[in-house]
Amino acid sequence: MTPDGRDKLMALTASAGLLAAVLTPIRQHWCEAPRDGFPLSCYPMFTAKRRRHGSVTYLLGTDANGERRLLHYSYLGGGGLNQVRRQLRRIVAEGRADEAAAIVAAALEATPRRRDRYVTRVHVVTGRYRYGDFFAGQRDPASEVVHSTAAVDKRGTLPRSLDRQQHDEAPANEGMQPSG
Amino acid sequence: MKRVVQALEARVLPVAPPVRPAVLRLVTGGWTAYYLSRRVDMLRSIHRGDPKLFDPVGPCRLLNSPLPPLLADGIIYAELVASAAFTLGLKHRVVGPAHAALLLWTMSYRNSWSMIFHNDNNLVLHTAVLGLTPTADALSIDAIRSDARLAPELLDWRYGLPSTVINAVTTATYLVAGIAKLKGPLGWSWADGESLRSQIAADGLRKELLGSGAAPLGVQLYEHTGLFRLLATGSLALELAAPIALLDRRVAKAWAAGAFGMHWGIRALMGITFRHQMSGAMFASFFPVDNLRTERPRG
């Protein structure tokens, strides 16, 4: 074989290897618990079967009058909405919702957005919504579970995590269901 | 038989001038440098995230815990320097593989915090191809240094290979995404549009509740089920038929234009920004990016 032919064979082998590597994650879709990876992915996005309703875990602020205000995900962390959303869901699943509420309360205390400056309490909640109703303007959740609450300390001290009993007594929790 | 082999060789290893991969190096390298430089603050913030949320992927699976933030920051700065040198075509034999490795690490580390983003896969894969092949023999500092010409008049299969491999890799990723939908719980019924509509609704709901706002167009069109059927069928066809783009240059261009449009459509309906795809840089290899007037084969 000529040197050029050998080079061609090597190039083709390497190219085929790369292509095979890119295609290999397909096999994940035949597994019971597919595991995605990077940069060799099985691209599971948009494949889940969804119903007409869905649950989302999010951050809610309330002011002294109990007015509700949705809080921006960036109070909890960086990396974009979807990353923080996933992280928040994982934190709640691991039973660490108190930590998330405390972090958000501290961030609110340190650098509040103008619209959030009257927020006095932070809640980590999971709300269940009907998509059709939501996009038709019905913004209230069909149900809402409160995982944790923290007070925003306006005097510059660290936020104080509240236990469920304290939280249930607060007017801000009207319409919310504490998590079980 | 010999004819078949020759035809196959011409298809897989077409001769091309060095300008062809060089343009891809400039486009992809330039895009990477721009993309990363705009994300330094975000990446630094990720490096200081909750270590309990570290879920390593790719080469980062070698790690049991996150890197010290300053070290992770340093790798980003090193990658920024490497991407600039790669784009300029400086010491490509060393810089090309180094840039590919650093970008692989940087993007894998970025995706190791409980969420895998699928918009950077092709950037990493394309960079690996461009970093490991002779893409700096033209339009580069190396080319000027070696024979004082920006665009040497050569033709060689080594210069045709990168775009062929990049096209194959790109279409393969779309094929995998298409098969994922068919193998999911919905199967072929994914194409009826109801799933896509629900996905857009779920995504919009999350965005509204987490403070960034749903894409207004997706909300306005939510009731138009027929439109979502059309979009779902079109996008699924585009993904499953992606390998056909490798058979013909005109089909390749049409497919790339379709995929480019699909990502802009996703942006309009869902507010999800696939930056590399939407920039067009990802599809540059599907279009003629060189002038094939040169005739002398190398060697």
pLDDT value, residue B47: 94
Residue A168 has pLDDT above 60, yes or no: no
Reported as type and span, the H/E element at residue A169 is helix A164-169
Residues A113 and A33 in one domain: no
Binning pLDDT at 50, 70 and 90, where does residue A113 land? confident
CA distances from B167 to B14, B174, B261 (A): 13, 11, 17
Residues A43 and A97 in one domain: no
CA-based nearest residue in chain A for residue B273: A80
pLDDT in tens, B128-180: 999 999 999 999 999 999 877 888 888 999 999 999 999 999 999 999 999 99
Do the beta carbons of residue A104 and residue A135 sit within 8 Å? no
Cis peptide leading into A39, omega within 30 of 0? Answer: yes
Domain that holds residue B107: 18-155
B271 in a structural domain:
yes
* Final residue before a domain boundary, out of A48, A63, A84: A48
CA distances from B231 to A116, B66, B192, B235, B246 (A): 38, 40, 9, 6, 23
Residues A63 and A152 in one domain: yes
Residues B238 and B146 in one domain: no
Measured distance CA(A127)–CA(A176) in Å, rounded? 9
With an 8 Å Cβ cutoff, is B49 touching chain A?
yes
Residues A107 and A147 in one domain: yes
Measured distance CA(A160)–CA(A96) in Å, rounded? 15
Pairing between β-strand A177-178 and β-strand A143-151 as defined by DSSP bridges: parallel
Flag the least confident range among A48-57, A150-159, B140-149, B152-161. A150-159
Residue written as token pair 């002398």:
B296
Residues A70 and A145 in one domain: yes
Contact: A134, B201; criterion CB under 8 Å: yes
B200 in a structural domain:
yes
Residues B195 and B107 in one domain: no
Q: How many CB atoms lie within 10 A of CB B193?
A: 19
Report the number of distinct structural domains present in chain A. 2
pLDDT in tens, B69-123: 999 999 999 999 999 999 999 999 999 999 999 999 999 999 999 889 999 999 9
Contact: A12, B12; criterion CB under 8 Å: yes
ipTM of the complex as predicted: 0.90
B197 in a structural domain:
yes
Do the beta carbons of residue B83 and residue B27 sit within 8 Å? no
Region for B218 from its dihedrals, namely left if φ exceeds 0, alpha if ψ lies in -120 to 50, beta otherwise: alpha
Residues A77 and A109 in one domain: yes
Residues A97 and A161 in one domain: yes
Residue B8 has pLDDT above 70, yes or no: yes
DSSP alpha helix (H) spans, B111-224: 121-131, 141-147, 157-183, 194-209, 216-220
Residue A32 has pLDDT above 60, yes or no: yes
Residues B231 and B149 in one domain: no
Residues A73 and A42 in one domain: no
* Final residue before a domain boundary, out of B155, B177, B197: B155
Contact: B186, A87; criterion CB under 8 Å: no
pLDDT value, residue A163: 37
User: How does B247-269 read in b/e, with b if 16+ C-beta sit within 10 Å?
Assistant: eeeeebeebbebbbebbeebbeb
pLDDT in tens, B70-80: 999 999 999 99
User: How is residue B156 annotated by DSSP?
Assistant: B
CA distances from B195 to A24, B47, B191, B192, B246 (A): 26, 35, 8, 7, 29
Residues B137 and B211 in one domain: no
Residues A170 and A141 in one domain: yes
pLDDT value, residue A162: 39
Residues B86 and B200 in one domain: no
Residues B143 and B228 in one domain: no
CA distance A101 to chain B (A): 14
pLDDT value, residue A154: 64
Residues B194 and B140 in one domain: no
Residues B86 and B144 in one domain: yes
Provide the greatest CA pair distance for chain A.
84
Residues B69 and B149 in one domain: yes
Residues A23 and A103 in one domain: no
Residues B33 and B151 in one domain: yes
Residues B84 and B197 in one domain: no
B165 in a structural domain:
no
Q: What count of residues does chain B have?
A: 299
CA distance A85 to chain B (A): 8
Report the number of distinct structural domains present in chain B. 2
Nearest to A45 among B108, B118, B183 (CB): B118
The mean per-residue pLDDT over the stretch B198-222 comes to 86
Residue B41 has pLDDT above 80, yes or no: yes
Do the beta carbons of residue A119 and residue A149 sit within 8 Å? no
Residues A25 and A77 in one domain: no
Domain that holds residue A20: 1-48
- Which residues 226-285 in chain B show a CB within 8 A of chain A? none
Contacts of B216 in chain A (CB under 8 A): none
Query: Mean pLDDT in chain A?
Result: 83
Contact: B206, A79; criterion CB under 8 Å: no
Q: What count of residues does chain A have?
A: 180
Contact: A26, B176; criterion CB under 8 Å: yes
Residues A86 and A121 in one domain: yes
